[in-house]
């Protein structure tokens, strides 16, 4: 378990409660503790902000002040009953107690300080979160007096981190790909169906297409790429006919496929390989199609976004580190299909989004729409919004 703490010698400001943000995914459990100052309310949708602030960040006012964070490297287990609430609590409760102690947040008679609101974002929440929704509110209420809790899909916390409480669309792309959009009344989702059925345009999708082109060249079929064949042989060994035997038995096939995506991008740029370049262009088109599918529109048909409504599109995730070879055609496609929706940099990630949701819950002014599967809200261990 690794941790990060805020530094500085100044006395901390008065606090009337604490905020908890959690991000649970394939790389482990990330936990952050933030201050909630007396009378504070994180600005959001519907609140006035200066033009300079509006232009500077998709999240007016920024994110809550983090005082410490912890990373638990072991991913939370999932089983036949879904996400394992007991396993998550076994890591989360000690981590939060440690963060509160380091922040000097002592409650009455040495009891842990009161946490005003919390948001837990987790991969698989939408389809595997029933047990977590049933058990975690009570666990956190007993351990830390959590009165207001949001249990969210990681795509929702990614949205909140990227765009805050604005209407728009967020594409999260890495090994997989999912798009989330909202008009602040309902949520819309596109893709995120995994590398066998979807995740079109993702790292796994690009890598699989690149390896297919390599095998076509190995076979002497049309559509092959000598450059991609050479890259695949350098990475996975010769003969390339052994690749299926290496790949199919692995449980991390999607990650292995995604690991070849940078090679596809490199061949497109450095080798000027037309097959690799077409794969990346096709990925950009797939990502844009997902964004269009979820982006709120002011009228029927593609391109009917009303620029005055403040709709924005944000891109987040490691796939976009491939650079201009992917982002340039993607931005061009988005500009063509959604001319009224500017593409902006994501203001933060899923952990920042979880803290923002917690802050808005604490203030009683969460603008993002609740949803039984995507964003479930609980008060003192009881469901109060469906």
Q: Does 65 score more than 90 pLDDT?
A: no
* pLDDT given for residue 360 in this prediction: 92
CB 355 within 8 A of CB 19: yes
- Burial (CB count within 10 angstroms: exposed 0-12, middle 13-18, buried 19+), residue 97: middle
Please name which of 36, 10, 14 lies closest in space to residue 356, comparing C-alpha atoms: 36
Q: Both tokens of residue 43? A: 């600005």
Model confidence band, residue 97 (pLDDT cutoffs 50, 70, 90) = very high
pLDDT tens per residue, range 259-292: 999 999 999 999 999 999 999 999 999 999 999 9
Model confidence band, residue 51 (pLDDT cutoffs 50, 70, 90) = very low
Model confidence band, residue 106 (pLDDT cutoffs 50, 70, 90) = low
The single-letter DSSP state of residue 386 is -
Residue found under tokens 């009953």: 81
CB 162 within 8 A of CB 353: yes
Strand partners, 69: 4, 32
Model confidence band, residue 305 (pLDDT cutoffs 50, 70, 90) = very low
Cα separation, 78 vs 154, in Å, equals 15
* pLDDT given for residue 322 in this prediction: 95
Over range 106-115, report the average pLDDT.
Answer: 64
| Averaged confidence pLDDT in the chain | 84
Least confident segment among 8-12, 99-103, 182-186:
8-12
Taking the CA atoms of residue 140, residue 146, residue 150 and residue 152 in that order, the dihedral angle to the nearest 10 degrees is -30
Cα separation, 9 vs 312, in Å, equals 39
Model confidence band, residue 191 (pLDDT cutoffs 50, 70, 90) = very high
Cα separation, 60 vs 45, in Å, equals 8
* pLDDT given for residue 148 in this prediction: 93
* pLDDT given for residue 56 in this prediction: 44
Please name which of 361, 367, 373, 351 lies closest in space to residue 120, comparing C-alpha atoms: 351
* pLDDT given for residue 126 in this prediction: 86
Q: Both tokens of residue 35? A: 């201050």
Q: Does 15 score more than 50 pLDDT?
A: no
Q: Both tokens of residue 73? A: 């490297």
Higher pLDDT, 106 or 210: 210
> The pTM is what?
0.81
User: Is cis: bond before 293, omega within 30 of 0?
Assistant: no
Question: Any alpha helices (H) in 77-168, and if so which ranges?
Answer: 85-102, 125-128, 130-144, 154-163
């Amino acid at each position: 378990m690794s941790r990060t703490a805020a530094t500085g010698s100044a006395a901390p400001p008065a606090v009337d409660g604490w905020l908890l943000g959690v991000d649970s995914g394939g790389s482990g459990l990330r936990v952050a503790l933030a201050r909630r100052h007396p009378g504070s309310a994180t600005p959001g949708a519907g609140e006035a902000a200066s033009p300079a602030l509006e232009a500077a960040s998709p999240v007016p006012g920024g994110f809550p002040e983090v005082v410490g964070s912890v990373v638990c490297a072991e991913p939370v287990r999932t089983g036949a009953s879904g996400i394992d609430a007991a396993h998550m609590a076994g890591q989360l409760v000690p981590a939060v107690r440690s963060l509160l102690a380091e922040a000097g947040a002592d409650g009455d008679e040495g009891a842990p300080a009161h946490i005003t609101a919390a948001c837990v974002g987790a991969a698989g929440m939408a389809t595997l979160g029933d047990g977590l929704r049933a058990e975690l509110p009570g666990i956190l209420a007993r351990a830390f007096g959590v009165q207001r809790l949001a249990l969210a899909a990681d795509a929702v916390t990614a949205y909140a981190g990227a765009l805050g409480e604005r209407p728009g669309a967020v594409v999260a792309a890495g090994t997989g790909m999912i798009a989330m959009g909202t008009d602040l009344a309902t949520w819309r989702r596109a893709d995120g169906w995994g590398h066998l059925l979807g995740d079109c345009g993702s790292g796994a999708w690009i890598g699989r297409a690149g390896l297919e082109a390599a095998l076509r060249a190995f076979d002497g079929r049309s559509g092959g790429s000598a450059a991609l064949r050479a890259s695949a042989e350098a990475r996975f060994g010769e003969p390339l006919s052994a690749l299926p035997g290496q790949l199919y038995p692995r449980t991390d096939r999607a990650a292995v496929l995604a690991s070849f995506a940078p090679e596809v991008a490199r061949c497109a740029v450095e080798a000027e390989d037309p097959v690799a370049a077409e794969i990346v262009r096709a990925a950009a088109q797939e990502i844009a199609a997902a964004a269009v599918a979820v982006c709120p529109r002011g009228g029927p048909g593609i391109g009917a976004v009303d620029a005055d409504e403040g709709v924005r599109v944000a891109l987040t995730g490691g796939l976009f580190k491939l650079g201009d070879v992917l982002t340039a055609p993607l931005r061009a496609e988005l500009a063509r299909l959604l001319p009224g929706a500017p593409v902006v940099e994501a203001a933060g990630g899923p952990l920042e989004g979880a803290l923002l949701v917690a802050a808005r819950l604490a203030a009683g002014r969460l603008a993002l729409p609740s949803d039984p599967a995507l964003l479930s809200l609980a008060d003192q261990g009881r469901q109060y919004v469906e």
